[in-house]
């Protein structure tokens, strides 16, 4: 793997969700050709416009590495906020991933406990008859605990989600809930329910990286495809859903690129940088 050329000074910051944004799960030849073109273009931006690149993703580093191998991708970004922003890595020129100490401190002092999450899951079931199913196919990583919620009816779903959010807040646990995207490997007609430390998540990770890189807000861009990207897109000056985004996401965010995946990213960036 190569690392995208690291400028001495960052003038711009571009942030990407990974699954179904930067990385197309179908891996069709025409899609991958656009990914390779995007990799080269980002190298150009880094060298000539002092751009830094970050992936802000629900995937773990191990999952990212496996997907990059499948797609024969060669370029790593400057930063990876993995596991839904509960981990923050700075990528060294030799490709080594190094934790960012100031972010690691936020995690350590958050008070997050896997036992607290397990107690919350038990309380939801015993008191409110709300059952969450562990996402065992992806495994549980670090400071993010993943579950599925399967809706029964629209009215009950709204009620249950309010209860889940309320209890998480009472327990001092951060939470992310959004409709699943089957294209990314999730079941249909289900919700992702992710428990994370307070003060983390995609929105917090983006805010941290903007400050860490000392980039003006007007010079920030972000791209996503699903409901859990909306807060990230709203944190930057120029946030775009791609054409392949979920209906849920498009109902929440009107700024949509005219093309899917890397093709949409290239279109927006070339217009933005006047190329």
Domains in the chain, please, with CATH? 2-107+201-273 (3.40.50.1000), 112-197 (3.30.70.1410)
Is residue 1 pLDDT above 90, yes or no?
A: no
**How many CA atoms lie within 13 Å of 203's alpha carbon, on the beta-carbon side?**
13
Tell me the pLDDT tens digit for each residue of 155-177. 999 999 999 999 999 999 999 99
Tell me the pLDDT tens digit for each residue of 81-134. 999 999 999 999 888 999 999 999 998 898 899 899 999 999 999 999 999 999
- Tell me, what's the pLDDT at 219? 98
Is residue 139 pLDDT above 60, yes or no?
A: no
Tell me the pLDDT tens digit for each residue of 228-272. 999 999 999 999 999 999 999 999 999 999 999 999 999 999 999
Residue 92: Cβ within 10 Å count: 13
Give the pair of three-digit tokens for residue 95: 């490709």
Instruction: Examine the residue annotation and report whether 17 is marked as an active-site residue of this protein.
Output: yes
Tell me the pLDDT tens digit for each residue of 33-92. 999 999 999 999 999 999 999 999 999 999 999 999 999 999 999 999 999 999 999 999
Measured between alpha carbons, how far is 175 from 192 in angstroms, rounded to an integer? 10
- Tell me, what's the pLDDT at 138? 53
Measured between alpha carbons, how far is 10 from 219 in angstroms, rounded to an integer? 10
Residue 269: Cβ within 10 Å count: 24
The answer to whether 116 and 175 have CB atoms below 8 angstroms apart is no
Work out the pLDDT band at 141, boundaries 50, 70, 90: low
Task: State the pTM of this model.
Answer: 0.92
Q: Which of 17, 186, 192, 229 is an active site residue?
A: 17
User: Reduced to 3 DSSP states, what percent helix, strand and coil does the chain have, rounded to the nearest 5?
Assistant: 45, 20, 35
Given the structure tokens 């930067």, which residue do they identify? 22
Choose the weakest-confidence range: 5-9, 153-157, 205-209.
5-9
Residues 6+ apart with CB under 8 A from 96: none
Q: What phi, psi does 52 have (nearest 5°)?
A: -110, 145
What is the residue-wise DSSP string for 45-60? Answer: HHHHH-EEEEEE-SS-
The answer to whether 130 and 142 have CB atoms below 8 angstroms apart is no
Q: How far is CA 181 from CA 15, 72, 214, in A?
A: 20, 23, 33
């Amino acid at each position: 793997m190569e690392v995208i050329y690291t400028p001495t000074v960052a003038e711009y910051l571009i942030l990407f969700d990974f699954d179904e944004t930067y990385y197309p799960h179908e891996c069709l030849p025409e899609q991958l050709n656009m990914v390779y073109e995007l990799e080269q273009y980002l190298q150009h931006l880094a060298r000539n416009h002092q751009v830094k690149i970050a992936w802000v993703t629900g995937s773990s580093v191990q999952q990212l590495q496996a997907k990059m191998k499948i797609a024969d991708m060669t370029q790593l970004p400057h930063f990876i906020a993995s596991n839904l922003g509960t981990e923050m890595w700075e990528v060294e020129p030799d490709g080594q991933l190094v934790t960012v100490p100031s972010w690691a401190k936020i995690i350590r002092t958050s008070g997050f406990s896997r036992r607290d999450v397990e107690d919350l899951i038990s309380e939801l079931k015993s008191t409110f008859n709300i059952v969450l199913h562990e996402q065992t196919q992806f495994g549980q990583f670090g400071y993010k605990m993943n579950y599925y919620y399967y809706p029964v009816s629209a009215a009950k779903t709204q009620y249950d989600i309010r209860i889940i959010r309320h209890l998480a807040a009472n327990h001092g646990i951060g939470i992310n809930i959004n409709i699943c995207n089957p294209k990314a490997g999730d079941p249909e007609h289900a919700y992702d329910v992710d428990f994370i430390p307070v003060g983390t998540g995609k929105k917090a990770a983006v805010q941290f990286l903007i400050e860490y890189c000392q980039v003006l807000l007007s010079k920030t861009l972000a791209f996503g495809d699903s409901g859990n990207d909306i807060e990230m897109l709203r944190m930057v000056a120029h946030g775009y859903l791609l054409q392949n985004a979920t209906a849920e996401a498009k109902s929440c965010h009107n700024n949509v690129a005219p093309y899917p995946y890397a093709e949409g990213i290239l279109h927006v960036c070339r217009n933005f940088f006047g190329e």
